[in-house]
Structure 1
Amino acid sequence: MQMIDARGLDHKAINQKLREASDVCALQGCCGQRFIAAGMADKAITIEGVPGNALGAYLNGASITVCGNAQDAVGDTMNAGEIVVHGSIGDAAGYAMRGGRIFIRDSAGYRAGIHMKAYKDKIPLMVIGGAAGSFLGEYQAGGVIVVLGLHTDGRPLVGNFPCTGMHGGKLFLRGSCEDIRFPGQVRVAPAGDEERAEVERYTAEFCKRFGLDESRVLDAPFTVVTPDSKNPYKQMYVAN
């Protein structure tokens, strides 16, 4: 594995070194540099340290593993590939992502999955192991978000105003979620057999990446949230 020392380098220099590096490489000493691996494909990148905003923006097939936390806008407008974060992330993760997968071991800030979308066989996925902040899935138009609540540090599973403006896609929450207030334009129900089988596939991938016991994760009910086609945001979007 080729090693790259990020100390003293700005994002342009880092990305140039990544483009010139072997297909499997590691970035050491990262400290807040933005736009790392933006638009990259065909790379497997391990990052030690804390990458700055817009990690993996426009990612187009590369895989990124962060050995710690990451800042805001992880996977912004991501098209394909995978981002695995062995820690927590800031706000607006997966903003407008249209493909690929993001796995967060711990928690996410505000507006995770905002404007997430899907097209034909491109269905983005975000799995959050801990809690998610307010406005989770805001204006979600497609794709899948899963919040497991395995370690919330006393925080609610999700913050205020989840699924505001949601008009596509699907949200899975681990738990019965009676105390969470959702907008009237979404449907909230216990996961049925097919939905349970679907979320089990996602949790299996999550557990594999973080070395967790899958049986422990699945030892709980799941709630699924989808847009209510009988009560859509009529003045904002076309009918589903």
Structure 2
Amino acid sequence: MNRSYETVPRRKVSDVSVTLGTEHFTKANALVREALGKAATVEIREAFAQRYLGCGIQAGKTLLIHGVPGNDMACYMDGGEIEVFGNAQDQIGNTMNDGLVVVHGRCGDAAGYGMRGGKIFVRDGCGWRVGIHMKQFEDKRPAIVIGGDAGSFLGEYMAGGVIVLLGKPGRYLATGMHGGVIYLRHELALEEVPKGLVQGAVDDADKAIVRSLLIEYNAHFSDDLGYGVDTSGEGFFRLRPASSRPYASMYAN
């Protein structure tokens, strides 16, 4: 346990609540959209795997979800905030453009699939292919922080953005990665470093990135965990492509 850590202030309370229970996902999403039309912050109770919750919500709107949201929560999200008080299923933040997703538990496969902006914080571990096809453009640099272990293919085909992993990676880490950076707390053995990638110690610029994200991680989860993670950025290892154009030989000049 590390007691010298930093946090930033916690967030919002709900204005309106919606109980989903066993409603079909189509009806459930209609109820949520109706509530968001009336209030900035909506609390969802008894989420039972309904898909697409928070799809496309924009800045100024917040969902506080109790239960287990279904696949594609926060897909195409464009600036809103979603906080899940429990686990989340697959493909959260699919093609997310901006905003914030916080999961007080673990998430399934392919979180952040094609993610273009915003941040996803997961308190515990994650399934396979998290961060697949993440990308960035100019000042849009998405970030995913995973507090536990990751399943196989973390950062697969990653083209941009940042992943911070506090636990251990699974097999086939960063397969096809050609952009962005993954920060690992556990150093890979030389034979474990994927072909075309390089592993190295973090420098001051890397530490600043990791530090900022871990301060946010603590703000969301230190109360749950009963402690905060070290926010210094020390002890991490950077994994990135060896070349900015790793597939250049496959195309005509």
- TM-score relative to the length of structure 2: 0.86
Structure 2 gap ranges (5+): 1-14
Q: Structure 1 residues 217, 198: closer, same or farther in 2, change over 3 A? A: closer
CA RMSD, Structure 1 to Structure 2 (Å):
2.0
Q: C-alpha separation between the residues in 2 aligned to 1:180 and 1:43?
A: 46
Q: 2:170 aligns with which of 156, 159, 170?
A: 159
2-structure distance, mates of 1:220, 1:237: 39
Evaluate the alpha carbon distance shift between residue 198 and residue 111 of structure 1 in structure 2; reply closer, same or farther with a 3 A threshold.
same
Q: 2:74 aligns with which of 56, 69, 74?
A: 56
Query: Is 1:229–2:229 an aligned residue pair?
Result: no
Partner of 1:85: 103
Task: Give TM-score, length-normalised by structure 1.
Answer: 0.90
Long gaps (5+) in structure 1? 150-156
The C-alpha deviation readout for 1:38-66, integer Å capped at 9, x for no partner, is: 11113111111001111111111110000
Aligned to 1:193: 204
What residue in structure 2 maps to residue 154 of structure 1? none
Cα 1:230–1:48 shift into 2, 3 Å: closer
**Distance change (3 Å), C-alpha of 1:238 and 1:14:** farther
Q: State yes or no: 1:172 paired with 2:186.
A: no
**CA deviation string 1:170-200 (max 9, x = no partner):** 1001133337712221111011122112211
1:29-48 equivalence runs, <5 A:
29-41=46-58, 42-48=60-66
Separation in structure 2 between the aligned mates of residue 202 and residue 147 of structure 1, nearest angstrom: 11
Give the Cα separation in 2 of the matches to 1:232 and 1:37: 36
Q: 1:78 to 1:236 in 2, by over 3 A?
A: farther
What is the number of residues matched between the two proteins?
Answer: 232
Q: How does 1:1-240 map to 2 (within 5 A)?
A: 1-21=15-35, 22-41=39-58, 42-149=60-167, 157-178=168-189, 181-211=192-222, 213-214=227-228, 216=230, 218=232, 221-229=235-243, 232-235=246-249
Q: Greater RCO between the two (CA within 8 Å, min separation 6)?
A: 2
Contact 1:148 1:217 in 2 (8 A): no
Mapped contact 1:161–1:182 kept (Cα < 8 A): no
